[in-house]
Structure 1
Amino acid sequence: MDIGASAFNLCNVDSAHAIAKEKQQDAEFKQLITSCTSLSHYESKRFITLLPQIIATLIAGSFHIVVGITLAYSAVLIPQLRNTTILGSATSTDSSTSNVAINATNTNQSLYGQREAWVASTTIVVVPVASLICGVVMDSIGRLNTLKITAIPVTIGWILIATATNYPMILLGRILTGVAGAFGTSPAMVYLTEIARADMRGSLTSSGPAYASLGMVLAYLKGWFMDWRTIAWVCNIYAIIPCILMFFIPESPAWYISKGKIDQARNSLEWIHKYQPHPPNKTQSMAELHLAVLIRDHEKKQEELRNSKYTGLAMKLKEFTKPTAVKPLTILFFLFFIQQFSGIYITLFYAIDLLKQMGIDMNPYLVSIFMGIVRFCMSMVNTYMMKRFKRRPLVMCSCIGMAICMLVSGLFTKWTIEGTTSFTWIPVLCLILYVTTSMIGLLPLPWTMTAELFPLEIRGVAQSISYSIANTIMFLAVQSYPSLANLLGGVVHAQWFFAVICLIGVIYVFVLMPETHGKKLNDIVEYFVHNTFYVTARKAYKSKGARKSSDRKPIIKNTRVTKNDMEESADGQNNNLIENV
């Protein structure tokens, strides 16, 4: 009897162990399915479901309007300052001899030109440091709170410019608006990346460049009929209104979870997914499913941190030594170098003077306004193109188009200056087409990718470092353009120089730039663990995906799923398995 009871108890224990193991396998399988497949499997694609994300995009991205005005403002400000004594005098009135007069005039003109260059570029030179600070701030107090405090430096900066009576006041005002530019763009891009649906991320994050393009149009338009002081006063409106609207949208759920604020993250996700229908065959809502994925990803990373000998700041520094940080930073560095020295921002900061140097018989303000309108319209088109087309072809086509436009524009500018052609309108057309093709890819996409390529743990800081790198290169390009043009022999050769850089960009993008269109952020990060050159990675991916269907295991519904089946499902090879969970 005791032997029978013992055998019976042993059988029960074995059965309990088997059941527990089976439940554990079920849980692991469901976890694998949830973490390795996109939430888009359950998401409705109706427009109404995107409405909260669109509203958040319109509000958070609207800070880019004042950034666009800040960038284009120098093109309006510098010509108008020449009619004042704020930058000093370009000529000398106190000379005892003609030679002394000539030397003094040359010295004053050189100083005057240097001050003009600093007025144009000062707003950029402070951005690298401001961006690094911004990265720490947004990871500490949140993406939206960082955007809210941006209203302080930008308001003070524009007031200083509006009331300026000397050169230092202009510079200080430009410095503060540059700081505000860093604090108003980096958090917005990170925020939009973290709340956007994977297939809409490119379109929503491209709203930033669209808003900036609108700001440029407003700057050129106001410069046509407004005094530079009046423009500075009006610009405060574009900073204050977004700050107020920011209180009506929720903070990033990913940031909430990183701070352990689960309830706030749930509320944020419920707002984001408020119009999403209940997922079929699921007891949880879409917000709860999304929350579970974010929590699991965060817990997995925290487990890695606990098992690591590095903690706190040391751990973050350690993250920056990994391929998932080094490779994206390196790729973005050279991509931004190509972007800046292709002339995109140089033609923006020196638009009025550049058009005059090209010998165009048109009102430079009207041409600048039209170029700004084209840039804004193309930014809206780009929103659609980023959803419809892959990133790499867009950037390569953009570089090719820009190179052709600059080559032809340089040629006809040369003939216009020499007076050997009557087609003086062709350089204007080429510049407009140059702006059009730049908005297809090379101008907006590198900025968008700064928020896509990095792991969540360092995304804020890494995005700010990328932004700092980009603005450092932009400063060098804008500040050095007058000297570069003189070194190359004038505006003609400068345009040809831009064309050569664009052609180099085609080769660079083809070899190195990764494809992020429609990819989950975790998948993008995983790419850098195993790949550097996209060309070889693409070939490996094709060979991996080229397995014969006969090599794959058949699906047997309503049966136990094997480990191999789990791995195939995790690879996205067998989505039907999801239905059997």
Structure 2
Amino acid sequence: MTADEEYTSENYPYKKNLRTALPQFLAVSVKNLLLLGYGMTLGFTTILIPAVENPKDGEVLHLEKSEISWISSINLIAVPLGCALSGIVTSPIGRRRAMQMVNVPFFIAWLIFHFSNKTGYLYGALILNGLAGGLLEAPVLTYVAEITQPHLRGTLTATSSMCIILGVFTQFLFGLYLYWRTVALVNIIFTISAVIALCFVPESPHWLVSRKRHDEARKSLQWLRGWTTPQAVEQELKDIQSVYQKEKGSVDVEEPLREKISHYLKRSFLIPFFLISYGFFVGHFSGMTTLQTYAVSIFQKLEAPIDKYYATLVLGILQILGTGTCVLLVHFTGKRPLTFFSTAGAGTCCILLASYDYYIRNNAIAHDSGMHSDVFTNSAAVENSTENIVKNPYSWIPMTLLMLLALISHTGIRMLPWILIGEIFNSKTRSGGAGLASAVGYIFGFLTNKIYINMVDSLFIWGTYGFYGIVCFSGCIVFYIMLPETEGKKLNDIENHFAGIRKLTNNVYRSKKRPPNDATKMENIQGTTNPAFEDDALKP
């Protein structure tokens, strides 16, 4: 049997209808409330920075430039610590309970923000948000991979990033009408809602099987596969049990520490880990991370044709449109085409922006002052050149390019690592790998924001965004060589690919309808089974 024949076979038939898809969508949506709250922590700094840099009358907090750089990045450097602990926390207490508990530091952080009267309090709240954001990575990512069917997994996983972007957008929107301290209180509502909603969705059946709670795992599958009968999910339950079955036939025998570590030294872990880490590197150094963090300040220095806050709002809308496009298309186009399109598109935007800064803006604005004028810095030259900026007929170009960057990057490269992270690690390293890879991603995010101001001071905008463009185009090459098409493929097949057993094709798998003579058999099943997991005995 060829690889393509294997992917289109239906050893475990299931009905693809609204009844089976709805509970999975509901469970993922509830989980997404948590990611919505996390997105709020990322977007909150965007409205906080201008408010404490140029405070209104009566505000006790007034931060200097050096303190502002920490405000934009300190939460991201705290995330890796939470990621490192994420897998450790998830395994003992379960995915659902871990997602509920992580809301506690979020709740405390929002209260600290509201009542803070010293810079240290802001730092403390940001660190709490970062730790909580890291802790949620493993339970959130593994939960989606373990409850969804293959044909839904890519789309439903992509909604995770979409909800983070939506959370960022809510802060842009709230910032237009509410003071930042009031926004912190409003955000608590979403944190409490997430905790309550998680009480109504089932635990991951895979985690339950790993803890020998087979009856609960069966009930979880019944809920997730359309509130069906125990008989309908019995075969899928056996498939899941086979993943955790040990050589002697017992389930969940505790492995020695050395054996656990050995799983992280194998090809099946190292290649996926590199691929996801490199995806994070390209995604953060594509220019979008710094734009999202410094959006208000950037548009202010750009003297954008529209108000800087409304420009930031438009930026958020384009991010949502980009992620929505990815969610809608990934099932049909696959991940590879979207990745190539967005990475090349982001690189083009960065190169064009660098060219604008070097040739047009440098000649049109900075020539008279005899120096390089940079729209992204707080230099006196920029502040004194407002009149020239307003008269510059090309001032719409950089804003348009940045808007396109936000739209294009979120159709693929910004989403790719988060989609892959829940599906390309094997069952033994999924929780730990998700935490470690997420930690690497947030370290890149921290570095991007922390060194941005220094990069602009040293390399100017043309050098900074020229570097971003080179990173994007190099990403196209690496992804072409290393990134397999995983859309619709079974987790066991993906695991075999990275273990070197059998390569995946670059075709998008779409299961075929069964012939008419199998209709009776489908009716007798009265439910659905998930072909995402098979016996490890599958060989070429």
TM-score (norm 1): 0.77
Counterpart Cα distance in 1 of 2:199 and 2:395: 51
Q: Which runs of 5+ in 1 are unaligned?
A: 1-34, 90-111, 279-283, 543-566, 573-581
Aligned residue type for 1:515: E
Is 1:513 aligned with 2:458?
A: no
Structure 1 residue 514, shift from structure 2 partner: 2.5
- The answer on whether the counterparts of 1:399 and 1:438 sit within 8 Å (CA) in structure 2 is yes
Out of 206-215 and 164-173, give the one that drifted further.
Answer: 206-215
User: Which residue pairs with 1:129 in the alignment?
Assistant: 81
Aligned residue type for 2:242: R
- The answer on whether the counterparts of 2:137 and 2:435 sit within 8 Å (CA) in structure 1 is no
Is 1:76 aligned with 2:20?
A: no
User: Which residue pairs with 1:211 in the alignment?
Assistant: 163
- The verdict on how the C-alpha distance between 1:495 and 1:357 changes in structure 2, with shifts beyond 3 A counting, is farther
Is 1:48 aligned with 2:16?
A: no
More relative contact order, 1 or 2 (CA 8 Å, 6+ apart)? 2
Is 1:297 aligned with 2:243?
A: yes
SS at match of 1:61: helix
Structure 1 residue 270, shift from structure 2 partner: 0.7
- The verdict on how the C-alpha distance between 1:77 and 1:417 changes in structure 2, with shifts beyond 3 A counting, is farther
- The verdict on how the C-alpha distance between 1:404 and 1:271 changes in structure 2, with shifts beyond 3 A counting, is same
- The answer on whether the counterparts of 2:52 and 2:62 sit within 8 Å (CA) in structure 1 is no
- The answer on whether the counterparts of 1:62 and 1:208 sit within 8 Å (CA) in structure 2 is no
User: Which residue pairs with 2:99 in the alignment?
Assistant: 147
Is 1:201 aligned with 2:153?
A: yes
**Matching residue within 160, 163, 170 for 2:112:** 160
- The answer on whether the counterparts of 1:40 and 1:198 sit within 8 Å (CA) in structure 2 is no
User: Which residue pairs with 1:488 in the alignment?
Assistant: 459
- The verdict on how the C-alpha distance between 1:256 and 1:305 changes in structure 2, with shifts beyond 3 A counting, is closer
Please show how residues 316-335 of structure 1 align to structure 2 within 5 Å.
316-335=260-279
Counterpart Cα distance in 1 of 2:276 and 2:19: 35
Give the root-mean-square deviation of aligned CA atoms: 2.6
Figure out how many residues of one structure are paired with residues of the other and give that number: 476
**Matching residue within 318, 331, 354 for 2:298:** 354
Is 1:437 aligned with 2:381?
A: no
More helix by share: 1
Identity of matched residues, %: 25
Counterpart Cα distance in 2 of 1:191 and 1:406: 35
Aligned residue type for 1:419: A
Please show how residues 234-273 of structure 1 align to structure 2 within 5 Å.
234-273=186-225
* 1:150-201 superposed Cα distances (whole Å, 9 cap, x missing partner): 1210010011011000000000011111122123343112101111110110
Which structure is larger by alpha-carbon Rg, 1 or 2? 1
User: Which residue pairs with 2:528 in the alignment?
Assistant: none
Aligned residue type for 1:344: M
Counterpart Cα distance in 2 of 1:511 and 1:171: 42
User: Which residue pairs with 1:408 in the alignment?
Assistant: 352
- The answer on whether the counterparts of 1:71 and 1:216 sit within 8 Å (CA) in structure 2 is yes
Aligned residue type for 1:246: L
Q: Which runs of 5+ in 2 are unaligned?
A: 1-5, 366-391, 507-534
TM-score (norm 2): 0.83
- The verdict on how the C-alpha distance between 1:467 and 1:329 changes in structure 2, with shifts beyond 3 A counting, is same
User: Which residue pairs with 1:225 in the alignment?
Assistant: 177
Is 1:464 aligned with 2:410?
A: no
Structure 1 residue 454, shift from structure 2 partner: 1.0
Counterpart Cα distance in 1 of 2:323 and 2:436: 25
Structure 1 residue 230, shift from structure 2 partner: 0.7
Aligned residue type for 1:157: A
Aligned residue type for 1:460: S
SS at match of 2:218: helix
- The answer on whether the counterparts of 2:35 and 2:160 sit within 8 Å (CA) in structure 1 is yes
Aligned residue type for 2:40: I
Is 1:378 aligned with 2:322?
A: yes
- The verdict on how the C-alpha distance between 1:323 and 1:301 changes in structure 2, with shifts beyond 3 A counting, is farther
Aligned residue type for 2:236: H
